[in-house]
Chains A and B, each alone.
Chain A
Amino acid sequence: MIRSLLWCSCFVLLASAPVQAGALPQVRLFTTGGTIQSKGAHRQKLMEYSDGRVTPSELVDDLPELRDVAQLSYAEISNVGSGNIDTKTLLTLAQQVNAWLALPEAAGAVVTHGTATLEETAYFLNLTVKSDKPVVVVGAMRPFTAVSRDGPMNLYNAVRVAATPQAKDMGVMILLNDEINAARDTTKNNTYRVDTFIARDVGPLGFADSDSIVFYRRPIYRHTSHSEFDVSKLTSLPRVDVLYAYQESDDAAVKAFVSAGAKGIVNSGGYSEPLAALKDKGVVVVQSDRKGSGRVVKSEKVAAKGQVTADNLPPQKARILLRLALTKTTDPVEIQRIFDEY
Chain B
Amino acid sequence: MNRLSLIVAVISATLLTAAPMLTASAAEIPTYAPPPAAPPPGTKLPTVVIMSMGGTIASRGTPRLNVANYGGKGVPRVDPQDWFNDEPELATIANIRLEDGRPPVDRASGETQGDDLRVAARLRVLMQDPTVDGVVVTHGTNTLAESAFLMNLIIDTAKPIVFVGSQRPWTALSGDGPRNLYDAVRVAGTKEAAGKGVLHCMNQYINTARDVSKTSAYRVQTFKGIDVGAIGFADPDIVKFYREPLRRHTMASEFAGRDYKDLPNVEIAYAYRDAPGYIIDAMVANGAKGIVIDGTGAGSPTTSQTDAIKRAQAKGVVVVATARTHGGRVQDTPRRREAKIVPGDNLVPEKARILLQLALTKTKDVADIQRIFNEY
Contact = CB atoms under 8 A, between A and B. Distances in A.
Chain B contact surface mostly: loop
A305 interface: no
Nearest to B211: A216
A221 B345 CA distance: 27
B245 interface: yes
Nearest to A309: B237
A305 to B, nearest CB: 16
B241 A220 contact: yes
Given A209-B329, A295-B237, A297-B237, 17 more contacts: A199-B229, A201-B233, A202-B231, A202-B243, A203-B225, A203-B227, A204-B229, A211-B332, A212-B331, A215-B246, A216-B211, A216-B245, A217-B228, A219-B244, A220-B243, A295-B233, A298-B237
B242 A219 contact: yes
A217 B332 contact: no
Contacts of A199: 229
A299 interface: yes
A241 interface: no
A60 interface: no
Contacts of A218: 243-244, 246
B230 A217 contact: no
A297 B235 contact: yes
Nearest to B242: A202
Interface in A285-303: 295, 297-299
B42 interface: no
Contacts of B311: none
Contacts of A295: 233, 235, 237, 240
B125 interface: no
B247 interface: yes
A214 B347 CA distance: 13
Contact of A217 (B231, B235, B238): B231
A206 B345 CA distance: 12
Contacts of A201: 229-230, 233, 242
A217 B329 contact: no
Given A202-B242, A211-B333, A299-B237, A216 B230 contact: no
B34 interface: no
Contacts of B243: 202-203, 205, 217-220
29 contacts: A185-B242, A199-B229, A201-B242, A202-B229, A202-B232, A202-B242, A203-B228, A203-B229, A204-B227, A211-B332, A212-B331, A212-B332, A214-B345, A217-B228, A218-B246, A219-B242, A219-B244, A220-B241, A220-B242, A220-B243, A220-B244, A221-B242, A295-B235, A295-B237, A295-B240, A297-B235, A297-B236, A297-B237, A311-B240
B244 A203 contact: no
A209 B374 CA distance: 14
Interface in B181-210: none
A202 B238 contact: no
Contacts of B233: 201, 295
Interface string A290-328: 000001011100000000000100000000000000000
Interface of A: 185, 199, 201-207, 209-212, 214-221, 295, 297-299, 311
Nearest to B226: A203
A204 B229 CA distance: 7
Contacts of A202: 229-232, 242-243
Query: Size range of the interface on B?
Result: 20 to 34
B228 A216 contact: yes
Contacts of A203: 225, 227-230, 243
B352 to A, nearest CB: 16
The 6 closest A-B pairs by CB, nearest first: A203-B229, A297-B237, A211-B331, A218-B244, A217-B243, A211-B332
Nearest to B196: A220
Contacts of A214: 329, 345
A248 B333 CA distance: 58
A123 to B, nearest CB: 14
A199 B235 CA distance: 18
Interface in B297-337: 328-329, 331-333
Interface string B163-192: 000000000000000000000000000000
Contacts of A219: 242-244
Nearest to A299: B237
A203, A206, A209, A299 pick with most chain B CB within 10 angstroms: A203
Interface string B278-312: 00000000000000000000000000000000000
Contacts of B240: 295, 311
Contacts of A217: 228, 231, 243-246
Nearest to B343: A211
B238 A298 contact: yes
Contacts of A311: 240
Query: Which of A212, A219, A220, A311 is packed against the most chain B CB atoms within 10 Å?
Result: A220
A176 to B, nearest CB: 16
Q: Which of B227, B229, B233, B245 has the most CB of A within 10 A?
A: B229
Given A203-B225, A216-B247, A219-B243, A209 B331 contact: yes
Contact of A207 (B211, B225, B245, B329): B329
Contacts of A212: 331-332
A212 B235 CA distance: 36
Contacts of B332: 211-212
Nearest to A212: B332
A337 B240 CA distance: 14
Contact of B228 (A204, A211, A297, A298): A204
A299 B246 CA distance: 33
A123 B243 CA distance: 17
A270 B297 CA distance: 44
Contacts of B235: 295, 297
Query: Which interface residue of B232, B331, B333 has the most chain A CB atoms within 10 A?
Result: B331
Interface centre among B211, B238, B240, B345 (most CB of A within 10 A): B240
